[in-house]
Amino acid sequence: MTLQNTLSETPLYAARPRLCDLGYLRVPYERSPGTLGYRCSAEPTHVFIKKGGTAEDALGRKCLCNGLMANIGLGNTRGDGYVEQPLLTLGADLSGVTEMLKVFPNGWSAKEAVNYLLNVSNISSKNSANATDSERGISQPS
C-alpha cells in the first residue's frame, strides 16, 4: 500500500540515506563476552552485518524512529538538506484495514479507528474461552 509523500513511495524510500541516528528501537547484541552493543536493521547494511545482523534481515527495512517522528511533525532535517519523510505503517496483516473499509468506505478519523478497535477488542474478550460470564454479558440468576 502506498500513500503520497510518504516513505511508502519507492522513489522517496530510495532517496533516504540508511542511517540509525535516533536509535529508539535498536536491539542489544553481545559484542564480546560481557559487552553489549546495539544494532538496527535500518542502519547501513554493512554496519548491521558487521554487528552480527544478516543482509536478509536488513533488506527493505525502513527507519521507524525517524519516520514516526516525521509523522507527528518532528522529522529531522539533515545537514545536506534531506528532510525526513513520514512513514506509512500498516504491518503485514491488512485484515483489520479491510474490515474497517467495509464500515468506513471513505476513510476514518483517529477517533473512529480507536472506537472500532475497542469494539473489536470487547467482542474478542467476550468470545474468549477464559472470559467470565459477566465479561460475556451473561447475568447469573439471583
For the record, the C-alpha cell of 48 comes out as 548491521
**Whole-model pTM?**
0.65
- Percentage of the chain with pLDDT > 70? 86
What ranges do the domains of the chain cover?
A: 1-89, 95-127
Which residue has cell 484495514?
97
CA-nearest of 65, 84, 80, 79 to 5 is 84
Going by pLDDT thresholds of 50, 70 and 90, the confidence category of residue 122 is: confident
- Percentage of the chain with pLDDT > 90? 62
38 bridge partner residues: 28
Q: Is the pLDDT of residue 30 over 70?
A: yes
d(CA 99, CA 116): 10
